[in-house]
Amino acid sequence: MASTIILRRRISSIRNTRQITKAMELVAASKMRKAQEQALRSRAYRDAAYGLLRRLNSISEVKRQPLFRQREIQRRLYVVVTSNSGLAGAYNANVLKLLTSSVREDRGSAIRSQVIAIGNKGAQFCRRLNDIELLAVYPAFGDHPTPNDLRPTLNTIIDKYIKEETDEVVLLYTLFKSNLAQVATRTAIMPARFDEDGESDVNGGGFTNFEPDVETVLLYSAITLIEAQLWQAVLEAIASEHSARMLAMKNASDNASDLIEEYTLEFNTARQAAITQELAEISGGVEAMNE
């Protein structure tokens, strides 16, 4: 059994740690509510972009547009959204696990894997992997990103696809479901297309005139869709990160409380044993003196 001094130090250390984890839990909960509201509000914008793309896909000119053109996949570019810091449970691990399985599938199909990492955790992981070309690293955009923060990433993936330096762009991020559920998600964003299984609201007579011309409308509509998907993915990832960190810190605080109870019980037992031993020694000494 450990001494009372060691147990007292352990209890004090765990209490200090619990104060830190509790503070981090409260901060994450506050940030999570704001991030969740922003992610939910912007989903309507993303859905509207999908609706526009459904209509544009009914136009024959899309086959001539470079962002709509589908090619045989020889190089696949992954845009991986992670965080800059840890202490968020399995938030980063789930996305990186999805990346690992995707790269393994590419290797089996003789497809070259490329990565653009958003967040330092993803970049650190990719540097340790073989057969992956890390094209660029962007730090996580913080709690309040702006569209301008995404512009370098957006320009890079569009430039790579137009120049045929990659044949498909896949977005890997964490989808926010609820405070307790966040799901690592894979979404192909280039070539620009829509979900064939979804409900289509295509109206053949809906488009009659394009200004300034159909090619310009298709180009900028495709860019808008890709930007909307990337923007929504970042917002979903931020909300998921704060939710995962809040839950992880809550579990850490609960575990610290359990440890404090266990060590307190052990401390009281050790102290009682020491007191009993001292009383026995005193009684023995008194009896020895009486003899």
In a domain, 225, yes or no: yes
Same domain membership, residue 274 and residue 131 = no
| pLDDT recorded at residue 65 | 78
Check if the beta carbon of residue 160 is closer than 8 Å to that of residue 77.
yes
Is the residue at 37 inside a domain? no
One domain, residues 213 and 94: yes
Q: How far apart (Å, rounded) are the C-alpha atoms in residues 87 and 177? A: 20
Task: Decide if 19 is inside a domain.
Answer: yes
pTM of full prediction above 0.85: no
In contact, 239 and 37? CB cutoff 8 Å: no
Q: Is 29 contained in some domain?
A: no
Provide the token pair at 214.
């159909």
CATH code of the domain in which 266 resides: 1.10.287.80
Is 207 a member of any domain? yes
pLDDT for residue 44: 82
Do the domain assignments include residue 257? yes
> What is residue 117's DSSP assignment?
E
144 and 263 co-located in one domain: no
Q: Are 150 and 267 in a shared domain? A: no
The count of structural domains within the chain is 2
Three-class DSSP category at 118? strand
Per-residue pLDDT at 143: 80
CA-angle at 254, arms to 251 and 256, nearest 5° = 110
281 and 231 in a common domain: no
Residue 65 shares a structural domain with residue 150: yes
Q: Residue 118 domain-assigned?
A: yes
CATH assignment at residue 123: 3.40.1380.10
Range of the domain at 194: 42-246
Same structural domain, 257 and 187: no
Whether residue 96 is found in the same domain as residue 171: yes
238 and 254 assigned to the same domain: no
Distance in angstroms (rounded) separating the CA atoms of residues 275 and 284:
14
Q: Choose among 229, 189, 237, 231: nearest CA to 84.
A: 237
Look up residue 86 and give its amino acid. G
What is the predicted pLDDT for the residue at 41?
A: 86
CA 284/CA 278 separation, integer angstroms: 10
pLDDT by residue for the chain (291 residues), tens digit each?
Answer: 568 888 899 999 999 999 999 999 999 998 988 888 888 888 888 777 777 766 666 676 666 778 878 888 999 999 999 998 888 889 999 999 999 999 999 999 999 999 999 999 999 999 888 878 999 999 878 788 888 888 899 999 999 998 999 999 999 999 998 888 899 999 888 887 654 444 444 444 444 566 666 677 777 778 888 888 888 999 999 999 999 999 999 999 999 999 999 999 998 888 888 788 777 877 777 777 776
Are 239 and 281 in a shared domain?
A: no
Residue with tokens 């070309």: 133
- For residues 143 and 109, state if they share a domain: yes
Quick one: 192 and 211 in the same domain? yes
The whole-number pLDDT of residue 200 equals 40
